[in-house]
C-alpha cells in the first residue's frame, strides 16, 4: 500500500506550495516567468555548491569518516551561502527587468510590484528546493516497505514531508524579507535571513532526532512568517479588519487597491 | 495486498510404472540464512540512499522456477511486482494455525524450516489466501568448518518420495523477525512488522506447446524476439573401450556392450541439485569401472567392444538416452541399435543394505525366448564378478518392472538384454531422491575432522571403498561379457580414485586433481561451492565437462604431442587420429615452481547432443519424447523490510489531504483579502492582484 503513503506525503510536502502556485501565480504570466527563472537560479546555486563539495571530497582522505562528516556540514553551509548569494543576484536581475518593464508599459509603471516579485521568487526557491530534498524519498515511499529495518524511525517519510513543507514556507518568507531588506538597505535583516537559513540547515543534521529538528524549524518558520507578514505590509489592525470586514467594504478597497500605484524608491 | 497466485499443478515427473504421485509446488523461493553478510553498514548520509534504509536484499537465494512439459507446468510464480507478506517462521504445527487462521496481519510470508517442507504442508498452505509466499531456510555447513558430518538426518520412516526434509535447521540471525514479529509477553505483535517480498515472475505459461509457439512466433515476426522458454538440453558423454571411427558407422557384425548412468539430478529449487545418491555415486562407480577395465592388458583384443555412456537430462523424462536412441535409429550415431549386445545400467548404488546389490531385469524380455538366455548370461557374469568381492548380487522377482532407468528408452526401441543394478529391491533406499538434501551426508560420506583440503581429497571413506567394490564387480562382469578369458581377480577398481571423484563431484570441484586434468581455459568451471548437477538450458554445464575430462583422464593415455599437434591432430601423421580425441590439459602444479606442466591426452571420449528429439522434430506436444522446457524470467530476488500498519498509512494520507484542502482554503481566503491584510498606509498589496 505504498501509494497511500506516497500521496499522503506528497500532499503534506507540496499541498501549500501547490495551492499558493495555483491561486496566486498561475493566473499571471509574468509571475510564472519569475517563478521559473527563480527556480533556475536556485538550481545553479545548487550545482555550484555540489561541485565545491564534490571537489573537496575528492581531494580529501575518504577513509576519514569524521573529516567527511565535517565536509558535509561545510558543503551544506556553502550551499546556504550560495543560495542567498543567488537570491541577491536574482534581486538585482529583477530590478533591472523591472526598469525595462516600466519603460515598456504604456503608463510608465511596472506591471508588477517589487513585493509581488519578492513573494514569487521566494516561492520559486521554496518549491525547487523542496522538490530536490524530498523527491527521492517520495520515490521510495511507493514501495511496500517503510524505513526502520536498521533501527531508523518509522516516521521518516512523514517527517521528511513536514520538513519539506517548512522549507517551502521558509524560502517564501525569506524571499519577502530579503528583497525588502535589499531594497531598504537594512543589512541586519539580510544577516538575520542568512543566519536563520544556516540554522535551519544545521538543524537538519540533528535528524533522525526529529523532535530536535522539526520543532525548532517550525518555530523559525512561524516567526519568519510573522516577520514577512509585517514586512509585506500586514499589521494586527489589518488582521482584525480582515476578520470583521464587510462585503461592501471589500469592493471599495478592491477598487482602491487596483488603482494603487506601487511605491518605488 | 497481493493475492497469492498459487501455481499448483501436478508435476509429471512421475514414474508410472511405480504409480507414485508427484509433488505440488506453490509459490516458492529458498533462502539462505546468511543475513549477516547482506546487512548493510550504516554509513553517513551520502551513499546511504533511502532504499538502503528500507530494504535488505537477500543475495543468496535459490528460487524455484517454472518448468513446463507437453501438458503441464510445475514450479513457482510470483506476481509481476513481487509478492509481499509479513514474515512468520513456522517451526511447528501450531505456528501453522497462526498463519492460516489466527494471525491478525495477513497475508503472511511463511518461512519454513527445511524439515517441515513436506507435501502435506504444501497442500495445507496452497489453498489459503492468507499466504502470499513461502521461503525455506536450510542450514548448510559453513565452508570454514569443512564438510562437517554434524548434521544428522532424522531416521523416522518417511516414504521414499515424500519430498525434501533433512538436516536440523540452524537458527539464523533473523533480528528483523525477532525484533518485530515475535509476540512480546504473550500479546499480539504490533506494527511495524517485518515483511518479505519475493520476485520470481515467470514468462512462460501453461505448457511447452504454448510457450514454444509463442517463442517461435516472436522469432519469426519480431526484430527483438523475447523468447519465453527454452528446452532443457546439454550433451551426453560417451567413450568406448576400443577406439572406433566416429565419422563412419561401425561394422554391423561388431558387438557393443553399453554401460550407462545418468549424470544429472534435480530438486525443488533451481540449480540446487547435489544428487549424491541419485547420480554422483553411480557415475563415479561407472568411471571407476571404466578405469579398471582400461588397465587390463588384453582389453584391446577382446571380441566385443564396451561403450561407457553418461546420459545427461535423464531426470527430465530421459532426454539424453532418448536422444541417443533417436540418433541410432536415424543412423546419426556410429553405433546402431543392432550392434548392441547387451545393456548394463548403474542405477542408485551407494546405499546398500548389508551390501546387497539388486539386479533388475525387464519382465517382458524375460518372457522372450531369444532374449532370456542372454539376460541369464549377463546375470551370471555379474554374479561371477562378485565372487571374492564384498558385494552380494541378488535378482528381484521376475514379475517386477524395471525401476526408472535409461535402459527403458532402449527397450522401447528394441528388445535388448539388459540389467539395471540398484541398491533397492522395490522402493528406493534414497530418502532424498531429487532433493536438496541428497548430499554427501546422504551417502554417509564422513571425513575425520581437521583434514586439509588436499588430505580430504585423498581420504578414502567407507563410501568410496564400497563403491569401488561395486565398480570392481561391474568391471569384471564387463570383461567377461566382452569375451575376456583372463583372470578377472586382477581387475580391481581403485578406492582412492573413487574418493577423489566423490570429493570433486560432491564437495568441491576446485581441487588439485580436477585442476590438473582440465583445459587451461576452462578453469572457470571449477568452484569452491557445492557442485550442482542440474541440466539447465545452457549447453555444456559443468558436470558434463568435468565428467568428460575425468573420463578422458582415467581411460586415456598420455601421448608425446606438442601443443600444436594436440590442438590440431589432423596435421599429425598419426594413423589413428580418426579414432581418438586429443585434449591439451594444464597438468598438475610442479612442486618446485608455480607453473604447471601441460600434456596431451589421447582418449575415446566423445560428446553428443542430449537435446530431446521433440524439439528437433518440433513436436512440442510429443508424448514419445521429453518436452521439458524452463521458463525464462527477468528478475528473481527477495528482500526484507518493515511494513507499517494500515492505520498509519491511512493517517498519513488523511493528514496529507487535510493539509492540501486547508492550504487551498487559506490561500484562497488570504488572496481574496490580501488588499486588507497588506494595506498599511503608503504600501500596496503584496500578494493581491
- The reply to whether B432 falls in a domain is yes
- How far apart are alpha carbons B307 and B342 in whole angstroms? 11
The mean pLDDT value for B483-500 works out to 90
Nearest to B513 by CA among B523, B525, B504: B504
Grid coordinates standing for B8? 499448483
Q: Is the dihedral of CA A12, A16, A22, A23 positive or negative?
A: positive
Interface contact B427, partner A, CB < 8 A? no
- pLDDT band at B10; cut points 50, 70, 90: very low
**Helix-strand-coil split of chain A, %, nearest 5:** 80, 0, 20
- How far apart are alpha carbons B66 and B25 in whole angstroms? 10
The mean pLDDT value for B197-212 works out to 85
pLDDT in the model for residue B603: 92
- The reply to whether B568 falls in a domain is yes
Residue B301 shares a structural domain with residue B362: yes
- 3-state secondary structure labels for all residues of B370-421: CCHHHHHHHHHHHHHHCCCCCCEEEECCCCCCCCCCCHHHHHHHCCCCEEEE
- The reply to whether A264 falls in a domain is no
To 10 degrees, what angle do helices B495-502 and B462-481 make?
120
Q: Which residue has the higher pLDDT, B173 or B547?
A: B547
Number of domains in chain B: 3
Contacts of A158 in chain B (CB under 8 A): 652, 655
User: Are A148 and B192 inside 8 Å of each other by CB?
Assistant: yes
Least confident of B242-256, B398-412, B424-438: B424-438
CB atoms under 10 Å from CB of B201, counted, come to 19
Indicate which CATH number applies to the domain containing B374.
3.40.630.10
Cβ within 8 Å of A, B 151-210? 176, 192, 194-195, 197
Residue B241 shares a structural domain with residue B116: no
Nearest to B262 by CA among B598, B540, B610, B516: B610
- The reply to whether A11 falls in a domain is yes
- The reply to whether B140 falls in a domain is yes
Q: Is the pLDDT of residue B2 over 60?
A: no
Interface contact B220, partner A, CB < 8 A? no
Residue B516 shares a structural domain with residue B411: yes
Residue holding cell 538575520? Answer: A192
User: Are A1 and B641 inside 8 Å of each other by CB?
Assistant: no
Nearest to B534 by CA among B138, B234, B207: B234
Q: What is the DSSP track for B259-317?
A: EEEE-----SSTT----IIIIIHHHHHHHHHHHHHHHSTTGGG-SSEEEEEEESSTTTT
Least confident of A147-151, B238-242, B420-424: A147-151
Q: Which residue has the higher pLDDT, B91 or B597?
A: B597
Residue B551 shares a structural domain with residue B644: no
To 10 degrees, what angle do helices A187-203 and A65-104 make?
140
In chain A, the residue whose alpha carbon lies closest to the alpha carbon of B57 is A149
- The reply to whether A41 falls in a domain is yes
Residue B318 shares a structural domain with residue B467: yes
- The reply to whether A263 falls in a domain is no
Q: Write down the number of H helices and E strands in chain A.
A: 9, 0
pLDDT in the model for residue B167: 26
Number of domains in chain A: 1
Contacts of A245 in chain B (CB under 8 A): 673, 676
When scoring B106, B675, B681, B689 by the number of chain A Cβ atoms within 10 A, the one with the most, hence best to mutate, is B675
Grid coordinates standing for B582? 586429443
- The reply to whether B5 falls in a domain is yes
Gap from B334 CA to chain A (nearest CA, Å): 60
Gap from A28 CA to chain B (nearest CA, Å): 9
Residue B105 shares a structural domain with residue B242: no
Grid coordinates standing for B389? 568381492
Q: What is the mean pLDDT of chain B?
A: 79
- How far apart are alpha carbons A192 and A200 in whole angstroms? 12
Contacts of A31 in chain B (CB under 8 A): none
- How far apart are alpha carbons B201 and B631 in whole angstroms? 10
- What residues make up the domain containing A47? 1-258
Gap from B681 CA to chain A (nearest CA, Å): 8
pLDDT in the model for residue B689: 36
Residue B579 shares a structural domain with residue B531: no
Per run of 10 residues, the mean pLDDT along chain A (length 265 residues) is: 87 95 92 95 95 92 87 93 96 91 82 90 95 89 83 85 94 95 92 95 86 92 93 85 58 39 42
Total beta-carbon pairs less than 8 A apart between chain A and chain B: 195
User: Are A145 and B654 inside 8 Å of each other by CB?
Assistant: no
pLDDT in the model for residue B184: 63
pLDDT in the model for residue B563: 87
pLDDT in the model for residue A245: 60
The mean pLDDT value for B432-436 works out to 82
- How far apart are alpha carbons B461 and B446 in whole angstroms? 7
Q: Is the pLDDT of residue B342 over 70?
A: yes
Per-residue pLDDT tens for B59-83? 667 777 888 888 888 877 777 777 8
User: Are A19 and B660 inside 8 Å of each other by CB?
Assistant: yes
Nearest to B689 by CA among A262, A176, A235: A262
Residue B431 shares a structural domain with residue B465: yes
pLDDT in the model for residue B318: 92
Q: What is the DSSP track for B165-185?
A: --SPPPPP--HHHHHHTSPST
- pLDDT band at B575; cut points 50, 70, 90: low
Q: Outline where DSSP puts E strands in A5-95.
A: none
Interface contact B680, partner A, CB < 8 A? yes
Per-residue pLDDT tens for B623-652? 889 999 998 888 778 888 888 888 888 999
Contacting residues for B266 by C-beta, under 8 A, at least 6 apart: B13, B273, B275, B315, B316, B434, B534, B535
- What residues make up the domain containing B591? 557-603
- Determine phi and psi for B340, rounding to 5 degrees: -75, 120
- How far apart are alpha carbons B419 and B371 in whole angstroms? 12
Residue B546 shares a structural domain with residue B593: no
* pTM of the entire predicted model: 0.75
Task: Closest CB to A23: pick one of B662, B667, B686.
Answer: B667
Least confident of A47-61, B24-38, B207-221: B24-38
pLDDT in the model for residue A92: 94
- The reply to whether B494 falls in a domain is yes
Residue B526 shares a structural domain with residue B579: no
pLDDT in the model for residue B15: 26
Residue B355 shares a structural domain with residue B482: yes
Residue B413 shares a structural domain with residue B329: yes
Amino acid at each position: 500500500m505504498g501509494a497511500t503513503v506516497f500521496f499522503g506525503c506528497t500532499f503534506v510536502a507540496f499541498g501549500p506550495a501547490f495551492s499558493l502556485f495555483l491561486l496566486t501565480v498561475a493566473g499571471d504570466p509574468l509571475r510564472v516567468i519569475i517563478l521559473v527563472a527563480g527556480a533556475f537560479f536556485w538550481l545553479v546555486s545548487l550545482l555550484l555548491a555540489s561541485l565545491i563539495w564534490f571537489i573537496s571530497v575528492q581531494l580529501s582522505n575518504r577513509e576519514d569518516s569524521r573529516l567527511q562528516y565535517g565536509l558535509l556540514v561545510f558543503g551544506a553551509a556553502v550551499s546556504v551561502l550560495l543560495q542567498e548569494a543567488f537570491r541577491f543576484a536574482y534581486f538585482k536581475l529583477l530590478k533591472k527587468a523591472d526598469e525595462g518593464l516600466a519603460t515598456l508599459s504604456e503608463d510608465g509603471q511596472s506591471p508588477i510590484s517589487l513585493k509581488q516579485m519578492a513573494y514569487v521568487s521566494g516561492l520559486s526557491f521554496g518549491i525547487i528546493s523542496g522538490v530536490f530534498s524530498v523527491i527521492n524519498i517520495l520515490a521510495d515511499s511507493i514501495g511496500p516497505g517503510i524505513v526502520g529495518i536498521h533501527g531508523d524511525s518509522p516516521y521518516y517519510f512523514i517527517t521528511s514531508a513536514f520538513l519539506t513543507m517548512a522549507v517551502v514556507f521558509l524560502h517564501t518568507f525569506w524571499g519577502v524579507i530579503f528583497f525588502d531588506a535589499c531594497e531598504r538597505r537594512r543589512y541586519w535583516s539580510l544577516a538575520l535571513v542568512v543566519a536563520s537559513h544556516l540554522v535551519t540547515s544545521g538543524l537538519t543534521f540533528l535528524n533522525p532526532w526529529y523532535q530536535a529538528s522539526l520543532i525548532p524549524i517550525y518555530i523559525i518558520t512561524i516567526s519568519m512568517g510573522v516577520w514577512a507578514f509585517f514586512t509585506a505590509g500586514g499589521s494586527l489592525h489589518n488582521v482584525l479588519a480582515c476578520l470583521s470586514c464587510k462585503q461592501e467594504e471589500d469592493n471599495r478597497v478592491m477598487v482602491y487597491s487596483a488603482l494603487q500605484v506601487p511605491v518605488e524608491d | 495486498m497481493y493475492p497469492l497466485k498459487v501455481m499448483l499443478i501436478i508435476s509429471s515427473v512421475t514414474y508410472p510404472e511405480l504409480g507414485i504421485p508427484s509433488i505440488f509446488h506453490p509459490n516458492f523461493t529458498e533462502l539462505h540464512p546468511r543475513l549477516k553478510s547482506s546487512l548493510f553498514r550504516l554509513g553517513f548520509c551520502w551513499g546511504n540512499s533511502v532504499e538502503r534504509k528500507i530494504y535488505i536484499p537477500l543475495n543468496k537465494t535459490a528460487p524455484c522456477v517454472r518448468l513446463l512439459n507437453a501438458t503441464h507446468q510445475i514450479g513457482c510464480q510470483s506476481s509481476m511486482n513481487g509478492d509481499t507478506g509479513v514474515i512468520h517462521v513456522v517451526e511447528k504445527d501450531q505456528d501453522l494455525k497462526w498463519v492460516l487462521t489466527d494471525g491478525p496481519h495477513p497475508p503472511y510470508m511463511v518461512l519454513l524450516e527445511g524439515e517441515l517442507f513436506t507435501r502435506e504442508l504444501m497442500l495445507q498452505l496452497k489453498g489459503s489466501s492468507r499466504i502470499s509466499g513461502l521461503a525455506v531456510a536450510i542450514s548448510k555447513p559453513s565452508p570454514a568448518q569443512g564438510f562437517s558430518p554434524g548434521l544428522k538426518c532424522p531416521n523416522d520412516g518417511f516414504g521414499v518420495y515424500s519430498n525434501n526434509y533433512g538436516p536440523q535447521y540452524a537458527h539464523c540471525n533473523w533480528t528483523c523477525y525477532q525484533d518485530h514479529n515475535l509476540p512480546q509477553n504473550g500479546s499480539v505483535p504490533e506494527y511495524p512488522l517485518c515483511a518479505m517480498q519475493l520476485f520470481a515472475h515467470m514468462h512462460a505459461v501453461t505448457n511447452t506447446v504454448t510457450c514454444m509457439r509463442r517463442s517461435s512466433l516472436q522469432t519469426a515476426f519480431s526484430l527483438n524476439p523475447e523468447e519465453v522458454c527454452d528446452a532443457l538440453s546439454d550433451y551426453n558423454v560417451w567413450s568406448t573401450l576400443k577406439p572406433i571411427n566416429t565419422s563412419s558407422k561401425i561394422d554391423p557384425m561388431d558387438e557393443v556392450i553399453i554401460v550407462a548412468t545418468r549424470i544429472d539430478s534435480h530438486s525443488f529449487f533451481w540449480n540446487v541439485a547435489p544428487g549424491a545418491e541419485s547420480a554422483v555415486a553411480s557415475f563415479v562407480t561407472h568411471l571407476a569401472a571404466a578405469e579398471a577395465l582400461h588397465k587390463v592388458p588384453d582389453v584391446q583384443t577382446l571380441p566385443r567392444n564396451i561403450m561407457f555412456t553418461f546420459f545427461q537430462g535423464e531426470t527430465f523424462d530421459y532426454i539424453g538416452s532418448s536422444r541417443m536412441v533417436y540418433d541410432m535409429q536415424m543412423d546419426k550415431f556410429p553405433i546402431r541399435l543392432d550392434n548392441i549386445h547387451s545393456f548394463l545400467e548403474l542405477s542408485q548404488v551407494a546405499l546398500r543394505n548389508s551390501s546387497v546389490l539388486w539386479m533388475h531385469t525387464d519382465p517382458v524380455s524375460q518372457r522372450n525366448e531369444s532374449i532370456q538366455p542372454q539376460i541369464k548370461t549377463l546375470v551370471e557374469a555379474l554374479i561371477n564378478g562378485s565372487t571374492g568381492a564384498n558385494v552380494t548380487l541378488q535378482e528381484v522377482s521376475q514379475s517386477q518392472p524395471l525401476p526408472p532407468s535409461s535402459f527403458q528408452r532402449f527397450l522401447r526401441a528394441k528388445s535388448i538384454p539388459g540389467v539395471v543394478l540398484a541398491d533397492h529391491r522395490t522402493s528406493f533406499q534414497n530418502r532424498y531422491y531429487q532433493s536438496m538434501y541428497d548430499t554427501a551426508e546422504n551417502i554417509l560420506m564422513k571425513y575425520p575432522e581437521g583434514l586439509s583440503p588436499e588430505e580430504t581429497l585423498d581420504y578414502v571413506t567407507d563410501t568410496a571403498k564400497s563403491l569401488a567394490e561395486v565398480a570392481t564387480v561391474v568391471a569384471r562382469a564387463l570383461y567377461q561379457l566382452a569375451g575376456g578369458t583372463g583372470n578377472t581377480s586382477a581387475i580391481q577398481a581403485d578406492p582412492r580414485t573413487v574418493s577423489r571423484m566423490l570429493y570433486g563431484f560432491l564437495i568441491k570441484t576446485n581441487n588439485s586433481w580436477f585442476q590438473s586434468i582440465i583445459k587451461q581455459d576452462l578453469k572457470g568451471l571449477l568452484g569452491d561451492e557445492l557442485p550442482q548437477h542440474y541440466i539447465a538450458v545452457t549447453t555444456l554445464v559443468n558436470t558434463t565437462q568435468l565428467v568428460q575430462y575425468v573420463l578422458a583422464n582415467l581411460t586415456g593415455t598420455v601421448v608425446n604431442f606438442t601443443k600444436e599437434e594436440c590442438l590440431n591432430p589432423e596435421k599429425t601423421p598419426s594413423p589413428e587420429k580418426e579414432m581418438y580425441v586429443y585434449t591439451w590439459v594444464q597438468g598438475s602444479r610442479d612442486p618446485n615452481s608455480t607453473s604447471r606442466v601441460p600434456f596431451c591426452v589421447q582418449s575415446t571420449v566423445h560428446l553428443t547432443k542430449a537435446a530431446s528429439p521433440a524439439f528437433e522434430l518440433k513436436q512440442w506436444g510429443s508424448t514419445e519424447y521429453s518436452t521439458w522446457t524452463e521458463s525464462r524470467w527477468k528478475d528473481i530476488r527477495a528482500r526484507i523490510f518493515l511494513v507499517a500498519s494500515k492505520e498509519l498509512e491511512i493517517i498519513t494520507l488523511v493528514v496529507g489531504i487535510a493539509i492540501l484542502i486547508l492550504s487551498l482554503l487559506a490561500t484562497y481566503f488570504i488572496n481574496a483579502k490580501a488588499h486588507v491584510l497588506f494595506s498599511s498606509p503608503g504600501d500596496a498589496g503584496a500578494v493581491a492582484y
